[in-house]
Chain A
């Protein structure tokens, strides 16, 4: 069966520090991968999606970037965090014509 792992679960980082959130999927190949952000009291905003290695699309301009160095690995990064980057980050994967499956999320607090 397929599983998705996302870590860390919580993270507190100072303003200006770098960020790296990692997501890996097991039990499937060539998944579509997604990063979403959920700000406090708001819905989910799609940040990045990827249909293959090194094929990444950004949905909104921001202080973040994403990379997919391997088929089932998706990394969300920032060189310098802003206070506004705080939120709940969710990684997800999907196959062909199926629903998306989500990781447990990372609660990022920038202080």
Chain B
């Protein structure tokens, strides 16, 4: 079984400042890792994913994340945020052996202030 912990339920940040949203996971097997974004009253949109290879993954909207196996982390970063980045962000893992059933973290609400 896997679990995902997003340490911060809310992250307020000023526009053009850098941001890091933290994600830690636990699993006894190899996993795939994902970050999704959810705008109000909408479904989830994939930001980026780590399947294998380079541990630094670049996604859409200027976001990137780094897989750290020793720390079992997959933190999401953006060097300069915009007002439009205000949304809920979810980290998720899936078990490579059990297909693509995603286990989600509790979500982090990013609030970008002008």
Contact = CB atoms under 8 A, between A and B. Distances in A.
B100 A98 contact: yes
Contact of B105 (A43, A51, A100): A43
Contacts of A34: 101-102
A102 B106 contact: no
Interface in A26-74: 32, 34, 36, 42-44, 46, 49, 51
Contacts, number: 61
Judged by DSSP, the binding face of A is: strand
B11 interface: no
B17 interface: no
Contacts of B100: 32, 94-100
Interface of A: 6, 32, 34, 36, 42-44, 46, 49, 51, 88, 90, 92, 94-105, 107
The 10 closest A-B pairs by CB, nearest first: A94-B100, A102-B43, A43-B106, A44-B104, A102-B44, A104-B43, A43-B107, A105-B43, A99-B46, A103-B43
